[in-house]
């Protein structure tokens, strides 16, 4: 499925289309950009034709020094059936050789008034976000004290009800039922809701409610970095649950490991408060304060002191 086309760049960055209109629906498959300086000198052995080609002051000033035959040759070789588009920065005049070649090969040529370095940075950030690996996970994503907490568990365990209680306590809903996650960098996962169910919560017995309508715009947000996973499961008498918090469980999402906590569900447990405290404790751990490790260290000291007294 094509995520980004050349026309999307034109709309996003207000690029002026100069020629090659037939190719504005070409797919963009990589976030990498190419500044074809060495190609302008005639070296096309490793030309990355599948990338957006960005021509700035350096490339254009070198191009002006070429002979008429070389100018035509370079532009014809620059425009291929794989090239999604060529962008001229700084509002430079587009060479007639490029316009002619782009019309023949239907390669969109666009122009921007923005400086080359800034345009390159903006294009790369946009394309990396749009072309990032994505997945969808059944769960609820809530922003709790600035920590993106994804609540998972089997259907009917109480994920949405817990999210509703958290929203009532002043936290913000990101997504219910289906969390779309994209990996923006090696250790950054960003979750959001599908557009169809944005701001909606499904509560058994009540049906679908609109959180933004009920609680206001401050009760929702569009996306949030996923930092912690809390898995709810029905209490199992035979299972040993972590009581100290020394075990560090992880959940693999795409290519990133996220801290995971398993919280058993039974009548009388206030799940919203437990998850709220879990988020605060996670923040403390990131700041270097681990209560479980401090307790374990104190316990070891007491045991060692007791052993010395016995001696």
Residue 157, marked binder = yes
Query: Residue 239 gets which letter from DSSP?
Result: S
List the one residue out of 253, 231, 257 whose CA is nearest residue 135: 253
E strand map for the chain: 16-19, 33-34, 52-55, 86-88, 109-111, 134-138, 140-144, 147-153, 172-175, 178-185, 188-192, 200-203, 207-210, 223-225, 228-234, 249-253, 256-265
199 is catalytic: no
153 appears as a binding residue in the annotation: yes
Active site residue 204: no
- 180 annotated among ligand-binding-site residues: no
Catalytic residue among 35, 177, 225, 283: 177
Whether 155 has a binding-site annotation, put simply, is yes
The answer to the question of whether 103 is labelled as a binding residue is: no
Spatial neighbors of 170 by CB under 8 A, at least 6 apart, are none
Choosing from 159, 171, 172, 224, the catalytic residue is 159
Q: Which of 14, 57, 96, 138 is catalytic?
A: 138
The sign of the CA dihedral 12, 13, 14, 17 is: negative
134-138 sheet: strands from edge to edge: 134-138, 178-185, 188-192, 223-225
Q: Got the DSSP string for 27-59?
A: B---S-EE--HHHHTT--TT--TTSEEEE-HHH
Q: Active site residue: 238, 239, 243, 266, which one?
A: 243
The whole-angstrom separation of Cα 52 and Cα 113 is 17
Is residue 156 marked as binding?
yes
Whether 252 is catalytic is no
The answer to whether 296 is a known ligand-binding residue is no
Catalytic residue list contains 177: yes
With H, G, I as helix, E, B as strand and everything else as coil, classify residue 191: strand
* 42 annotated binding-site participant: no
191, burial (CB in 10 Å: exposed 0-12, middle 13-18, buried 19+):
buried
List the binding residues for Mg(2+): 160, 202
For the annotated catalytic residues, the residue numbers are 138, 159, 177, 243
List the binding residues: 153-160, 202
List the binding residues for ATP: 153-160
């Amino acid at each position: 499925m094509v995520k980004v086309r050349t026309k999307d760049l034109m709309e996003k960055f207000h690029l002026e289309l100069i020629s090659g209109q037939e190719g504005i629906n070409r797919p963009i498959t990589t976030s990498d950009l190419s500044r074809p300086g060495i190609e302008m000198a005639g070296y096309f052995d490793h030309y990355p034709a599948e990338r957006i080609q960005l021509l700035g002051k350096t490339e254009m000033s070198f191009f002006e020094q070429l002979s008429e035959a070389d100018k035509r040759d370079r532009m014809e070789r620059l425009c291929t059936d794989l090239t999604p588009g060529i962008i001229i920065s700084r509002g430079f005049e587009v060479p007639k050789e490029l316009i002619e070649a782009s019309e023949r090969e239907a390669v969109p040529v666009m122009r921007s008034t923005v400086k080359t370095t800034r345009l390159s940075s903006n294009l790369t950030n946009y394309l990396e976000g749009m072309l990032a690996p994505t997945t969808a996970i059944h769960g609820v994503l809530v922003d709790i004290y600035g920590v993106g907490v994804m609540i998972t568990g089997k259907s009917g365990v109480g994920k949405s009800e817990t999210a509703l209680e958290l929203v009532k306590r002043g936290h913000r809903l990101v997504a219910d039922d289906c969390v779309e996650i994209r990996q923006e960098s090696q250790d950054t996962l960003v979750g959001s809701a599908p557009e169809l169910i944005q701001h909606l919560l499904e509560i058994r017995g009540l049906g679908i409610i609109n959180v933004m309508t009920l609680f206001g715009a401050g009760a929702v947000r569009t996306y949030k970095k996923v930092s912690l996973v809390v898995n709810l499961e029905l209490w199992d008498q035979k299972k040993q649950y972590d009581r100290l918090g020394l075990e560090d469980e992880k959940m693999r999402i795409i290519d990133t490991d996220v801290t995971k906590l398993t919280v058993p569900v039974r009548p009388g447990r206030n799940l919203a408060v437990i998850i709220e405290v879990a988020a605060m404790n996670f923040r403390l751990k990131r700041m270097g304060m681990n209560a479980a490790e401090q307790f374990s260290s104190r316990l070891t000291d007491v045991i060692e002191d007791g052993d010395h007294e016995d001696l």
